[in-house]
Amino acid sequence: MTKAQQLYQQLTQRLASQLRQHQLEQGEVTIEVAPADYLAVCKTLRDDADFAFEIMIDLCGVDYLNYGRDEWNTNATGSGFSRGFEPATSGRLRFGDEVEQAGEQGQRFAAVMHLLSIKNNQRIRVRVYAEDDAMPVVPSVCELWNGANWFEREAFDLYGIHFEGHPDLRRILTDYGFVGHPFRKDFPLSGHVEMRYDPQKKRVLYEPVSIEPRVLVPKVIRDDNRYQQAQDED
């Protein structure tokens, strides 16, 4: 039995009532817990000698909006290439546009954490979904792992996930007065505002973005007569 299999067995035996999901794939153990059980499970993973996950390697936010969907119908033939003209996902949306959401409510935003146990030489991935998509809130683990402070601030800044109990939850990467959360799937690629320096007013101005959304067509190389000459030359 491998260490991952042993860890998976221990988790299912001792924390089964607190786990929403648990899986072992490619030698990696992943568990999903409810926000109400998140801190209790994390404390057990840190303090119990059988787990001893004393190090938090990483914590990030995830937006599962339209997870598994794509606006491209990539059907390449010798006569043409079909593509999506209407935005089925959020890649070409502008501020104020809405896109149909797929998936269950309360299953859009999640915090994903990776833990390491040096003592037992094993790793685990822990995921917790926010229950409310409009105001995603999950507990902070700063009291368990001090290193989570800046990671949770980053997830708040980029995804808008609020970490309840965080000692200093504020933006860490974007500028002062930034509108929105840039890693959300419904955030426009061109952003909401653009800035420029006005030499007459002698200050930086923030204005509505003037860039029109573009259709980014994937590059497709077809094996047909248009490329036969180049192939013969090669």
Tell me how far CA of residue 29 lies from CA of 21, 25, 37, in angstroms.
Answer: 11, 7, 18
How many CB atoms lie under 10 A from the CB of residue 19? 16
Domains annotated for the chain, with CATH where assigned, are 3-191 (3.30.460.80)
Please give the pLDDT value at position 189: 77
Reported as a pLDDT band with limits 50, 70 and 90, residue 46 is very high
pTM above 0.85, yes or no: no
pLDDT on residue 176 = 78
Q: How confident is the model at residue 162 (pLDDT cuts 50, 70, 90)?
A: very high
What would the two tokens of residue 50 be? 């059988």
Determine the Cα–Cα distance for residues 22 and 33; give it in Å rounded to an integer: 9
